[in-house]
Structure 1
Amino acid sequence: MKPLPALELVTRLEDAEWLDPVAKKVRKVVKRVIRPKWARDVLHGVPIGHPVHPLAVQVPLGAWISAAVLDAFPGNDRAAAVLIGMGTGTAVPSAVAGFTDWSQLHPQQQRVGLVHAAANITATGLYLASLVARARGGRGSGKVLAYLGLAVVGAGGFLGGHLTYRQAAGVNHSEEIPHRFPSGWQPLAPLAELPDGKLHKVVVAEIPLLVYREAEDVRVLSDVCSHLSGPLHEGKLKGGRLQAGAVQAAGASGGGDGSGDPCVVCPWHGSTFSLRTGEVQAGPATARQPLFETRVSDGLVEVCLPGAE
């Protein structure tokens, strides 16, 4: 079966560079409005382990669809209006979460996401107009506006599906690692060849790994950032023994917190992961990095990924 013609139109949006100036302006507004790091992490979904936006949109969509069903039968005007009002109100926090995620995507994803957002904003405006018409006694026009809003939000949902399932926005880009990495212990590199106190990349079984060594202690994560596949070995080291010494020296002069827990900051969008656990310390990533067990045998570092098939 051939894909729908509409799919080709959506695919063209990925290369619509004329949207980039608009995206740049909107991105600046989003970053200016949502400034606290903790707020961005909550809106990204770091505490719950996956994006908030797909979960939040269920409320307005459910309310609007339910209102459409009620509008199809007489005597439900008041109940339909209540549902439309609830959907319109809850669309706001959903949009805030969506724009927060959108601001940390690749340009091709942002182009599609911008049109997706425009469709949803248009739909929300139509539902607001429906409420105004109903309040003025125009039940017929109110229903027409509501059904138009449902059609537009449906188109926006199609774009959202393309963004997620075709462009892989918001998904875990490290999920495949346990399915590709061989089970059991695998040779990594001689301990003496691993740089001390620095981020380093080693490829094992065609899988790029991020390696961090402090003396005899070797920490290994997947080198592919779970957010959008950024190369973590090109990122920044945060904490760790060497930086902890500098922080402690600064603390003696009245600054620094003395934290020595080593973390890696992704060079693309700033996601931060603990090198000891793989857990997300700061978004936009929401999924932890695969953490490899390590051991040293006769000077050779070996790695094992729990759960590898």
Structure 2
Amino acid sequence: MQLFNRLEQARSLDGVVEKLQAAIVATPRRMRDLLHGTWMGHSLHPVLVQVPVGAFISAAVLDLLPGQRRAATTLIAVGTAGVAPAAAAGWTDWSQMTKDKQRVGLVHASANVVAAGLYTASLVARARGRDGRVLSYAGLSVAGLGAYIGGHLSYARGGGMNQAMPDMNRVPEEWTAIGSLASLPEGKPAVRTLGDVPVLLWRQGDNVTAMLERCSHETGPLGEGDVVQIGSEACVVCPWHGSTFRLRDGVAVHGPAANDQPLLRVRVEAGQVEVAQP
């Protein structure tokens, strides 16, 4: 849509974006990893969103039925309480997106803030014995707009998706040589290409791990990242946003990546390293 194209190019939003991003990045890394969902291997935001969305939609249905005012009010209270953790996870993911996504995400979040305000006003009206249904239905309408913008952010712009997986579709299903074992440095990542797909290889003795080289978060070049030691494990740090993956098995140790880095099957035949799709 032309509207979304304009939002993605709206540089006038960048001042607000940069201030909010700086504030979020200043929070402890452990908290950010928790909110990214790195610990569960999946973005946490879509999971937490189910609470307010489910509660608000259910309340809208109950508000149409006789004798269900108290139940609808309870659900609105639950949904409103669920906004804060869902928003915290969403803002944390947003802080590590590219500028075009951040501009759209700012409008998405703003719509949700307005919706939460309308639901809060509805709760206040109900507590005072007035009919708060108009406010809650207005909140649901604005939340629906926010959800529509969020859908564009996720599905049209790839926000929060595993950006490395499209490369997996271009890796051959059959075993394919990617280089000799002798050419791989010991204990140091090496990048080789399979057609036009870059692959990160990690050798320890005769054991080799192969993972897609483009970071699952925003396709950053892992081959240009630093190798750090976390505990007893060697890990590679994405140079773009700092996502950190264990070289032995691709597990995401630190976000913003919530997904593990995709691995390929590996074998060594006659001194040649061969890889294939999992």
Contact 1:208 1:223 in 2 (8 A): yes
Contact 2:268 2:274 in 1 (8 A): no
Q: Describe how 1:1-309 pairs up with structure 2 within 5 A.
A: 7-32=1-26, 34-35=27-28, 37-139=29-131, 142-214=132-204, 216-239=206-229, 259-299=231-271, 301-307=272-278
SS in 2 for 1:264: strand
Contact 1:232 1:267 in 2 (8 A): yes
Structure 1 unaligned regions, length at least 5: 1-6, 240-256
Contact 1:173 1:225 in 2 (8 A): yes
When normalised by structure 1's length, the TM-score is: 0.84
* Aligned AA (1:29): A
Structure 1 distance, partners of 2:171, 2:252, is 22
| Deviation by residue 1:122-177 (Cα, 9 ceiling, x = unmatched) | 100011111111222221xx111111111100000001000100010111112234
Choose 124-133 or 43-52, whichever is displaced more. Answer: 43-52
| Deviation by residue 1:168-191 (Cα, 9 ceiling, x = unmatched) | 011111223443211232221234
Pair 1:295–1:68, CA change in 2 (3 A): closer
| Deviation by residue 1:278-308 (Cα, 9 ceiling, x = unmatched) | 1111111122222234444444x3222353x
SS in 2 for 1:262: strand
Which has the greater radius of gyration?
A: 1
Structure 1 distance, partners of 2:61, 2:205, is 66
Contact 1:265 1:273 in 2 (8 A): yes
| Deviation by residue 1:234-263 (Cα, 9 ceiling, x = unmatched) | 111113xxxxxxxxxxxxxxxxx8x44221
Pair 1:79–1:217, CA change in 2 (3 A): closer
Residue of structure 2 in register with 1:254 after alignment? none
* Aligned AA (1:42): L
SS in 2 for 1:176: helix
| Deviation by residue 1:41-88 (Cα, 9 ceiling, x = unmatched) | 221112222111111111111111111112223332222211111110
Structure 1 distance, partners of 2:48, 2:268, is 47
Structure 2 unaligned regions, length at least 5: none
Contact 2:266 2:275 in 1 (8 A): yes
Structure 1 distance, partners of 2:234, 2:119, is 49
Contact 1:46 1:284 in 2 (8 A): yes
Contact 1:292 1:303 in 2 (8 A): no
Structure 2 distance, partners of 1:148, 1:28, is 32
